[in-house]
Structure 1
Amino acid sequence: MNPIPPEHRRLLAAYRMPPEWAPHLACYLAWPHNLDTWPGKFDLIPPIYADMVAAIARFEPVRLMVNNETQIDEVRAMIRDAIRRRGDSDDAATGAVDIFYLPTNDAWARDHGPIFVNRLATDSAAGPNQIALDWRFNSWGRKYGAFDLDDVVPQKLGGRYGFDVIEPGIVLEGGSIDVNGAGSVLTTESCLLNPNRNPALSRADIEDYLRTYLGVSNVLWLGDGIAGDDTDGHIDDLARFVARDTIVTVLEDDPADVNYPVLRDNLNRLRAMRDQDGRPFKIETIPMPPAVIYDGARLPASYANFYIANGAVLMPRFMSPQDNVAASTLSRLFPGRRVVGVPSTDLVWGLGSVHCLSQQHPAPPTASS
């Protein structure tokens, strides 16, 4: 493994990854096409996905990759129908969706899409206002088939939309990290320390990469992920920053459930954590949904897999009374944003939900910011 290039250290000292609630320029999505991802249920997925696209497009521009140029008109029609069903302005929401040909191996844009860092307003050094990080992608530890198309998505998007791209040179998925925008990052030992990602790197090495490329000073480690999570424990199914001083985490109340000890351990860790300035975080909790089982398999259903859009929070829902509890909590934590439910009982058969499928492009800093 090559060390971090000195020029990257010098340049990126002036940059930091914004939190997800910061203003977005756009949201990147990839239209679902891999039949193996939703075996036996794929035909149910495109209408649900179109509804999710329509919901996001009401609040921010969508940049949607498709695998076949001949699909574009069909996909646009499905999204337009979803927009009409939602009762939104047809022209405004449809016009907010840019559909284009860029082939992917799968639809999980959170993990193979670009991760952006913005130049700090207090730094006057030369450099672009914003840089996209193109981490290596290896299909969550080479668990599945080809990942060559996913691995080049950030470079391809940079070419299309004209943003600068830097390659850190190690494997990292977007769903494995969450930042507060003030210097802290949340992640998990079970994922980032897994030898199927970067076997030559120690914990200290990985922390060095996170500090250098994300502009953080404080790396916070949770333990294991929830049952059924094929990513080895992504943070976006466990705990999320909802403000620079506040973390919301999922909690299982049934001691007989397999997730009970894992989530209790993570809660205890969160309560002991301190922010980049040495202060404790405010810890909020939301319940886990009842276990979602399909074809004998426990699926990684979690309300933590929400996406924060401009003016909205898109939350997975699972046809459970717990949906309302989670929505009420998120409404309180995000005043001024509308909580929009996305049906995810079938979606999560692909082992992910709303946040896993989306990747924000934060607005670049302006001269006055």
Structure 2
Amino acid sequence: MSGFMVSRRTVLRSLAGAGAVALGVAGCSSPDDEAGPDPAPATGNPTGRRFGAEWEQHARTFMAWPASTGIWGGQLGAVRQDIAGIARAVARYEPVVLLARPGQEDEARRACGTDVEVVPIPVDDLWTRDTVPVFVEEGGKVLGVDFNFSGWGGKQQHANDGQVARAVLGKYGIGRIETPVVAEGGSFETDGQGTLLVTESSVVNDNRNRGRTRQQIEADLIAALGVRKVIWLAGVRGEDITDAHVDTLVRYVAPGVVLLDKPAPDSPPDVWSRSIDQARGVLKDATDARGKGIEVIDLPQPDPDRITGKGEEFVSSYVNFYVANKAVLLPAFGDAAADDRAKQILRDHFPDREIVQLKIDTIASGGGGIHCSTHDQPSGPTG
């Protein structure tokens, strides 16, 4: 999302009720409910439901063709080129389904090539991480949790994107799991072993879940996703369209091991760096659903003076990578030393996967990344 609209790095002070930018506790949380690890893991999973890790086998990756000049303006052509580049790259490793607004399929096919399946489903924008259901496994089947996409709390048009979850589930005959929680797929990160990382700012927020406490939302997340332990990170409230999704902050690379975003050297302190410090403090003291500690490894950002992307909204976090079958897709921002360092860090943790770096300057200028624009469907328990 770019600078001529409300973007993922745009201050939302102009929105009614946005108030001052805040780091930490949601308005509906009690003073004793600051973001951090729960006192003890939640127990029980009577449904046998499981939210798998991204590095497990995928049946396909969902993406979407940006549809509207009303959102992207003069950058629509450039952002479509970025999406086509990601789709072509992922299609080397697994099936890719590109959702395209009816009437735009031919252009999408020409751009993405014959290895990408284009499916006519009405969409508004490209952020399938947030609009496609969050897939879980239960009883030998893959099911989809519909998190009631609301345009990140009503900040962007979503008449079509709000219906994508139901459309995808109907198209592929996948059962739908209802939940009262309003959230997006980028809100959640899991180790596949029952642990969920969430930024409180993006979920315990009146723009999604008005009047609901963190405890209530946590109980619903446990029920919907089958996780056993939720670790809450503060995030940043009100400074970007997502209210600071976890998938640009911290990501699992293995059970018990996470990569944490790290500001470039000499970056001035701001709400984002303070949220990183807060997350580090929580994670170093936390235990996961197995009762084990979490190793935190830095994934440093590039030098902002050396990147090729432009704009105040540019997201230069390598943490927004995507784990595909036999590959990891990682942004290349133009700082050669930082790009190489990030590639090596990912290679260290995924030695059996090819590390593929892609330029995504227009997507990044809109406040997102490769992970934001992709959504994995697991192959399921039987593969």
TM-score range, shorter chain: 0.7 to 0.9
Is the CA contact 2:309–2:361 (under 8 Å) kept in the aligned structure 1?
no
Matched, 1:137 2:149: yes
Is the CA contact 1:110–1:175 (under 8 Å) kept in the aligned structure 2?
yes
Is the CA contact 2:140–2:380 (under 8 Å) kept in the aligned structure 1?
no
Shifted more, 40-49 versus 271-280: the winner is 40-49
What is aligned with 2:36?
none
* Mapping 1:209-358, distance limit 5 Å: 209-225=220-236, 229-252=240-263, 253-254=265-266, 256-258=268-270, 259-291=272-304, 297-320=312-335, 321-358=337-374
Shifted more, 267-276 versus 179-188: the winner is 267-276
Provide the C-alpha distance between the structure 2 equivalents of 1:36 and 1:354, rounded to a whole number of angstroms. Answer: 22
Is the CA contact 1:104–1:150 (under 8 Å) kept in the aligned structure 2?
yes
Is the CA contact 1:176–1:236 (under 8 Å) kept in the aligned structure 2?
yes
Q: Which amino acid aligns with 2:145?
A: L
What is aligned with 1:85?
none
What is aligned with 1:116?
135
Structure 2 unaligned spans of 5+: 1-43
Percent of matched pairs sharing the same residue: 33
Matched, 1:364 2:383: no
Is the CA contact 1:250–1:303 (under 8 Å) kept in the aligned structure 2?
yes
- Secondary structure of the 2:148 match is coil
1:141-184 alpha-carbon deviations (Å, 9 max, x no partner): 11122x22112212111221111112213201000001111110
Provide the C-alpha distance between the structure 2 equivalents of 1:280 and 1:165, rounded to a whole number of angstroms. Answer: 34
Matched, 1:32 2:66: yes
Provide the C-alpha distance between the structure 1 equivalents of 2:312 and 2:238, rounded to a whole number of angstroms. Answer: 10
Shifted more, 202-211 versus 293-302: the winner is 293-302
* Mapping 1:65-104, distance limit 5 Å: 65-69=99-103, 71-80=104-113, 94-95=114-115, 97-104=116-123
Q: Which amino acid aligns with 2:288?
A: D
Is the CA contact 2:259–2:299 (under 8 Å) kept in the aligned structure 1?
yes
Q: Which amino acid aligns with 2:120?
A: Y
Matched pairs, number: 335
Provide the C-alpha distance between the structure 2 equivalents of 1:269 and 1:334, rounded to a whole number of angstroms. Answer: 25
- Secondary structure of the 1:29 match is strand
Identify which of structures 1 and 2 has the higher relative contact order when contacts are C-alpha pairs closer than 8 Å and 6+ apart.
Answer: 2
Higher helix share: 1
Q: Closer, same or farther in 2 for the Cα pair 1:362/1:52, shift >3 Å? A: same
Is the CA contact 1:190–1:223 (under 8 Å) kept in the aligned structure 2?
yes
Q: What's the TM-score, normalizing by structure 2? A: 0.82
Q: Closer, same or farther in 2 for the Cα pair 1:322/1:37, shift >3 Å? A: farther
CA RMSD of aligned residues (A): 2.2
Structure 1 unaligned spans of 5+: 1-9, 81-93, 120-126
Q: Which amino acid aligns with 2:134?
A: I
Is the CA contact 1:23–1:362 (under 8 Å) kept in the aligned structure 2?
yes
Provide the C-alpha distance between the structure 2 equivalents of 1:175 and 1:186, rounded to a whole number of angstroms. Answer: 11
Provide the C-alpha distance between the structure 1 equivalents of 2:89 and 2:354, rounded to a whole number of angstroms. Answer: 11
Is the CA contact 2:309–2:333 (under 8 Å) kept in the aligned structure 1?
no
* Mapping 1:39-78, distance limit 5 Å: 39-69=73-103, 71-78=104-111
What is aligned with 1:156?
167
What is aligned with 1:6?
none
Q: Closer, same or farther in 2 for the Cα pair 1:317/1:262, shift >3 Å? A: same
Q: Closer, same or farther in 2 for the Cα pair 1:347/1:196, shift >3 Å? A: same
- Secondary structure of the 1:336 match is coil
